[in-house]
Amino acid sequence: MGIGAASDELLGTFVPIAVYWLYSGLYVALDGVGRLDGYRLHTREEAATKNVVSKAAVVRGVLVQQAFQVAVSLTLFAVIGDESGTGQKQPPALVIVLQFITAMVVMDTWQYFMHRYMHINKFLYKHIHSKHHTLVVPYSFGALYNHPLEGLILDTIGGALSFLVSGMTPRTSIFFFSFATIKTVDDHCGLWLPGNILQALFSNNSAYHDIHHQLYGNKYNFSQPFFVIWDKILGTYMPYSIEQRKRGGVESRPTKLD
């Protein structure tokens, strides 16, 4: 049973995609507000010169990855779906909260180790993961700009594992994957905005992730999209501070370099 005419499985597949473009579109709109330049982690000039891929190519790349996500999601729901058509009953609120937390931990764990390995393995970095790092200056709708194989391994399989291990229902997955999508877009937004509740609540945020996208941070800050615990446990966390740039704006600046 779904919300309205659509099934929970269809909503769980397509709502996060809609959320991705709507939320990143909000940041695109904010990018045109000149008064917010004081909160940019990089200048507009840096974005224009350091990123070596066009925005049109980024949009195409994200759409390819989302097509893979749709295919895997629909296949997964078809395999585990309830043939009665009545849908799974929602568990109590406390159970849903625990499922959310479990899914967050599973996703973080999977993505940390897979992401880190793609940096350690020179072949995988050169031919797969480096595509994402062509965005030295991250921006919102480039959050899922990856090689299709990386998108499949990190995001799609990671999401499937989170869903299966947590035991959440398709209806709960609508909200979990929409939240994970918002978080991922926010981490790549390129802005350090006062009052941004996600940046305030999570140490894994746009400033933390910006460090990873710089050359000096290539071996640090692998965690995504929620916590930084694996980085801190395994010594790959790079501490940083938010500093004012001389020519205006802010930057995430490492407080310790090897």
Q: Which residues lie closer than 8 Å to 73 by C-beta, 6 or more apart? A: 9, 12, 13, 156, 159, 160
Across the chain, mean pLDDT equals: 92
Higher pLDDT, 231 or 44: 231
Which three-class secondary structure state does DSSP give residue 214? coil
Chain segment 127-186, per-residue pLDDT in tens: 999 999 999 999 999 999 999 999 999 999 999 999 999 999 999 999 999 999 999 999
Average the pLDDT over 10-30 and give the result: 96
Residue 45's Cβ-count burial label (10 Å; 0-12, 13-18, 19+) is exposed
Tokens of 66: 């989302």
pLDDT band at residue 87 using 50, 70 and 90 as cut-offs: low
Q: Which residues lie closer than 8 Å to 236 by C-beta, 6 or more apart? A: 116, 219, 220, 221, 222, 230
Average the pLDDT over 61-73 and give the result: 94
| pLDDT given at position 122 | 96
pLDDT band at residue 84 using 50, 70 and 90 as cut-offs: low
| pLDDT given at position 82 | 64
- Is the pLDDT score of 70 beyond 60? yes
- Is the pLDDT score of 83 beyond 90? no
- Is the pLDDT score of 86 beyond 60? no
Chain segment 175-199, per-residue pLDDT in tens: 999 999 999 999 999 999 989 999 9
- Is the pLDDT score of 246 beyond 70? yes
Q: Which of 9-18, 27-36, 121-130 has the lowest mean pLDDT?
A: 27-36
| Alpha carbon distances (Å) from 143 to 44, 62, 187, 256, 258 | 18, 8, 8, 26, 28
| pLDDT given at position 113 | 98
